[in-house]
Amino acid sequence: MSHNSFVIGSGAGATLESGLAEPMDSRGNIDHGNSISITNTGNKSFSYNGNTGEASDAGLTQHQAGEGVEIHSAGGTPKSYINKGDDVVNYKGMPVQAKVLETMGVLTLNSMGRYEFAPEGEPTKAQEPNASDVSNDPHSTFAMSDAENNSINELIPADIAPSALSAITSHGIQGAITGDLKSVVTSFSRSSGQSPEEAQATVSKVIESYSKASERYLAGTVGMNQADIPEFYAWAKLHAPQELKGAVSSMVNKNQFRDLGKLVGQWADSNPPSVDTLEKAGYKIGKSISGDPTVFIQGFGEISVKAAARSKLI
């Protein structure tokens, strides 16, 4: 992987949600706490300890994240409030993007466009974005064009029974993961009346159409280096075949590519940049007590390379 040229979200200034990393493995004296205690105009109080995740309140339903919490912009500039998805918040001793915390239900976006900590135990709407949120999310709005879809439809004979086409599609998705398309070609040939050679050409053209669209999404929206895409697919087929199958199914059946982008986040977590790559890129490298490599990030100090990669800081 050419980590020095690959940053998730760099293509469109957008980021992807991913699971929260484990607490970073770094030196004991660099843990950045983020406790906050707020009293509103009604004298109702709320306290939140970002290092332990413990929260308590006295009737306050929500409070604005701001004073007392360590916040930085994506570029490392200190901030007193959170108003962007790529703002970085010190959460449980680890820098995490606001958008990730929103997905976890830790933060919610208020009507003023700023993030608030959600009181413990209260449901949030973070996982059910409204229409305006979706319309502004390039990962949700990316789709194959009508022209691309029409070109695929024109390859499929109109007299194929819907049930047969559904079965062929399902087998085709599985074949795209395993690399074995013989049964797909055979089924398509029988159902369409095309010769095996014609069926092979049709199946190949359909797969090529989806491959080009997915590469356009990965490079343009996710921000992957084009050279990393084959390595990503090879990793996914080996380590996350079911997730990859689900992502391909969403592409084919729903014209949605977002799940593929989320899978890239898992791949990046499993493949943090090497010490050699980071040093060549100009980063200062150290070691934790356990011997794991650490990296010095402006505004955050020394954190583990794995935590920095997960938080999209390197």
Distance in angstroms (rounded) separating the CA atoms of residues 50 and 89 = 9
Each residue's pLDDT, cut to its tens digit, for the chain (314 residues) gives 444 333 333 344 343 433 333 333 333 333 334 443 333 333 333 444 444 444 444 333 333 444 456 887 777 777 878 888 888 888 776 778 788 778 777 888 887 788 888 775 343 444 454 555 545 678 888 889 999 999 999 999 988 888 899 999 999 999 989 989 999 999 999 999 999 999 999 999 999 999 999 999 999 888 888 888 998 999 999 999 999 999 999 999 999 999 998 898 888 777 777 788 888 888 889 988 888 888 888 777 888 887 777 666 77
Question: ∠ CA 120-121-126 to the nearest 5 degrees?
Answer: 85
Would you state the pLDDT for residue 49?
Answer: 46
Would you state the pLDDT for residue 236?
Answer: 93
Residue of 310, 297, 228 lying closest to 5 (CA atoms): 228
Identify whether the C-beta of residue 305 lies closer than 8 Å to the C-beta of residue 292.
Answer: yes
Would you state the pLDDT for residue 293?
Answer: 87
- Order of strands across the sheet with 63-64? 63-64, 115-117, 107-109
Report how far Cα 306 is from the mean position of its chain's Cα atoms. 16
What separation, in Å, do the N-terminal and C-terminal C-alpha atoms of the chain show? 13
